[in-house]
Structure 1
Amino acid sequence: MMAMRKFIGVGLLVTLMSTGVPAQVMAQSDADAADIARQVESLSAEGAQSFRAGDYDKAIEFFEQAYALDPVPNLLYNIGRCYEQMEQWDEAIAQYERFMVAPDVESEARSHAMERVQSLREIQAMQAREDGSTGDGAQDEGPDDVIATPQPAPPNRTPGIITTAGGVALIGGGVVMGLMASGNAESITDPQLSYDDRLSARDSARTQALVADVFYASGIAVTALGIYLIVSADSVEDNPQASRSVLTPWVGKGSAGVGLTLGF
């Protein structure tokens, strides 16, 4: 009987020891993950500071160290920006393309990176044409020969123009609905119409007037958004997360409108 109790005690001790091991491993794993996150955050901050100071080689070093610890796609974009500032177009394009195919990248950020790649390829083509024309016309190149710095692609105002046109179209729709509502309102006082017809004309006039108000408000908001997009096209955004604008139409009892929210 004593031997049996001793055997049970030993078995219980071994069980308790074995169940404690995964908990220790999980705790150690969580601690390691938190330490890596702190290192990545610190390296990213130092890289951003070096970028702002114009030390792009040092910034690339910090960003690459952070990416080695945790492959966050935004670090690839930051590395591409450093190479772009140093006018190393091939390296910048390579980093942007790595960013575009990385998982969990938002569509807006991916589109922004694609635009940067397209702009850089245009700059490369422009430089190649200028280098070719310089080589054909001159036999000796002296130290004073200067190649003009290519200008970046012009801002894309097409979305703003399309949005503005849509807003004007909505305002035009509001004018049409307002005229229809006015015509039905005049029918209310027509003595030649029956009571039911005048009642129907009144309901139609109210509905059309409400729709006209929605069109007016939406048209004004969309037109304002289009003008904002046209104006903001001239600014250069270093952040791939573009500003967002949200239109929220609303209809209440006897009133209607649209809300415009801009995110920067």
Structure 2
Amino acid sequence: MTWQAYGALARAQGFDRLYLLLSFDCDRHEDAEVVEMVDGWLVERGIPRTYAVPGVMLTEAAEIYRKLASKGARFINHGGRAHVEFRDGRYWSCTFYDRFSEAEVAQDIAAGHEAVIAVTGQIPTGFRAPHFGLLDNSQREYIYNTLRAMGYRFSSSSLPELGLAKGPLVDVGGLVELPCSGSWVAPHIILDSWSHVRSPVDPVVTAAYGNIMMETCAELFKHRQVGVLNWYADPSHVAQGDVFRRCLDAIGDHGIKAIGFEDLLVMGGRV
């Protein structure tokens, strides 16, 4: 019933088929090492490429990300500071906006904005907060206020629950929130690559990740679902093996059209 209700909301927003909105968080040094290969897979399949890279990571691997931008990849603001730190043989999360002062949040958003411009030459109009699932409503509203003041058009910093309740596009006062998506069996739980890696010390996706993606596409296609699958992954999680490539092929086989963030805004009449 959950997906059926979501489909009704999507139809009310003007959607008449199922779309894929795929983006990539590049929070680790290892992401820069494989991102060009993953980008090539997307180009081969005609899938728009969108990357969310913390400012410090953009700057450290500027040549790589600048090259992707020159080939048509789009970049959204992912803040300025690093989102993970390496210790005790693995990466641990850091940079939590829910622990920052409002001034620190605004400074980090501004730093990420400037990094995207400096490295890619693009003026970002979209934002994804680090570890956004931990934000409360007041913190989220402060982020929205900051983005509005900077002329941003959208954020994609919400869990699937929001999309299931309000549809693929959620107006938040002059800004559009594009909630991330779950899976067929767990629509309320975000489907990301980190949740399906072998272990924190061996962060490579398992076959189960691919199976969930492909099952979701197959079931939604079978039920003629309407809406948007807004999924993201980390390049270093999906670069090994053929799990992710098989998922990309399955998405195409089911006729699910891949779009970018700006495409979604146009389709939703937000441009």
TM-score (norm 2): 0.23
Q: Which structure: larger Rg?
A: 1
Higher helix share: 1
Higher relative contact order (CA 8 A, sep 6+): 2
Higher strand share: 2
TM-score (norm 1): 0.23
